[in-house]
Amino acid sequence: MMNDEIILSVKNIKKWFPLRRSITEVFKGKKRWVKAVDGVTFNIKKGEIFALIGESGCGKTTTGRLIMKIEELTSGQIIFKGTDTSTLSSSTEIKKYREEVQMVFQDPYASMNPRFRVRDVLYEPLIIHKKTKDSREMEKIARRALEEVKLTPPEEFLDRFPHMLSGGQRQRVATARTLVLSPNLIIADEPVSMIDLSTRAEILHMMKEVQENLNLTYLYITHDLSTARYFCDRIAVMYLGRIVELGTSDEIIENPLHPYTKALIAAVPEPIAGKENIIKDIPIKGEIPSAANIPKGCRFHNRCIYSKPLCYENVDDPELVEDSNGHYVACYRYKEINQEVQNI
């Protein structure tokens, strides 16, 4: 169960990708960057399901990859169970770290070798991490993992190839593959976005059960607010490489403070009668700017319908401040805005 022990602590991390420069820029020594992640801070408690939400290009996947150490940090710190991950340099140390932090990828059709049987898919991490060489031992671990993800009886699935499995079953195998190493933290990057609606809930349900049984911690990366509300304990909303709001799922959905979160929620259609009423005016302007060209001041100001000069003149990005117990928001004017909205 969830307690207050912090398993992962992300401190002001940045990931800037260099852009190709023109010849004059090279001579002038100018550098240009795509600031995919630009100062992200959050803590994940042991046993919780934490969601990173945002539009495509907001840096949520890059954040996940940084935590996995697939990408190198530009600056900042990622601390996992008290150890700064940037100090892990040798491949054995990194391997050891990745035993504890595992990832489920978005596309179950691309994340598995088509020539591998389910058995091989599940054995591979054990071989790479030199867990065991005994094939009977491996089979035991694989069977247990398959039972955990409800692919029962396991013997029916062990010798199948990925093409003999449905999308939902593949995602179960992908989850089982992370479990064979008994990890502590699982990063799930849009695990259900490619799965049919009728089975989507089943997969989330299974993931939740596995999480409770094995006392795992999840970082759930998604663009879908509805599944996040159902699935997660806390939600962090990202916009252009920064977190703009963070709080418990219910708080974020029922009492959003940041104008961006409000717009995201307003844009979600609901399966109830009385058409043409839910999404009429979305309280947001334009489209997401490029991460190579981030607006000055509050980076949301040019899309915000409440922005005032104080949001972008001579100021930096607003810091994430605590509004009420555990509910954080990064907006200069959120108190006034909520006042204005209430008055109308």
Partner 1 sequence: MSEVLTVNNLKLYYFTRKGVVKALDDVSFSLKEGETLGLVGESGCGKTTLGMGLLRMPSPPGKIVDGEIIIDNENIIHLKENELRKRIRWNKISMIFQGAMNSLTPVYNIKKQMLETLLNHREMEEEQALEIIKKYINYVGLSEDVLKRYPHELSGGMKQRVVIATALFLEPKIVIADEPTTALDVVVQAQIINLLKKLKHDLNLSFIFITHDLATEAEVADRIMVMYAGKIAEIGTNDQIYGKQGPSHPYTKGLLGATPKLREKVEELAFIPGTPPDLLNPPTGCRFHERCPVAFDKCILNEPPLKEIEPEHFVACWRCYDE
Q: What is the side-by-side strand order in the sheet with 217-222?
A: 101-104, 185-189, 217-222, 49-53, 234-239, 242-248, 327-329, 321-324
Q: Measured from the CB atom, is 115 or 280 closer to partner 1?
A: 280
The CB-of-119 to partner 1 minimum distance in angstroms stands at 22
The CB-of-183 to partner 1 minimum distance in angstroms stands at 25
> Could you tell me which residues come within 8 angstroms of residue 78 by beta carbon, excluding any fewer than 6 positions away?
8, 9, 10, 11, 13, 66, 67, 84, 85, 86
The CB-of-294 to partner 1 minimum distance in angstroms stands at 16
Residue-by-residue DSSP string for 14-55: EEEEEPP--HHHHHHT---EEEEEEEEEEEEETT-EEEEE--
Residue type, 120: D
In the numeric block, which tokens belong to residue 79? 């601390």
The CB-of-71 to partner 1 minimum distance in angstroms stands at 23
The CB-of-279 to partner 1 minimum distance in angstroms stands at 5
CB atoms within 10 A of CB 29: 7
Radius of gyration of the chain (CA): 22
The CB-of-252 to partner 1 minimum distance in angstroms stands at 11
The CB-of-239 to partner 1 minimum distance in angstroms stands at 11
Q: Measured from the CB atom, is 97 or 105 closer to partner 1?
A: 105
Q: Measured from the CB atom, is 20 or 280 closer to partner 1?
A: 280
The CB-of-23 to partner 1 minimum distance in angstroms stands at 22
Q: Measured from the CB atom, is 267 or 321 closer to partner 1?
A: 267
| Sites of contact with partner 1 (CB under 8 A) | 55-56, 166, 168, 196-202, 204-205, 223-227, 229-230, 250, 253, 263-276, 278-280, 282, 284, 287-288
- Give the E-state strand segments of the chain in sequence order: 6-18, 33-45, 49-53, 75-80, 83-84, 101-104, 185-189, 217-222, 234-239, 242-248, 321-324, 327-329
Q: Measured from the CB atom, is 187 or 204 closer to partner 1?
A: 204
Q: Measured from the CB atom, is 62 or 85 closer to partner 1?
A: 62
Q: Measured from the CB atom, is 23 or 197 closer to partner 1?
A: 197
> Could you tell me which residues come within 8 angstroms of residue 44 by beta carbon, excluding any fewer than 6 positions away?
6, 7, 8, 9, 50, 185, 217, 219
Residue 14 contacts residue 38 (beta carbons within 8 Å)? yes
In the numeric block, which tokens belong to residue 113? 């070798």
Q: Measured from the CB atom, is 11 or 205 closer to partner 1?
A: 205
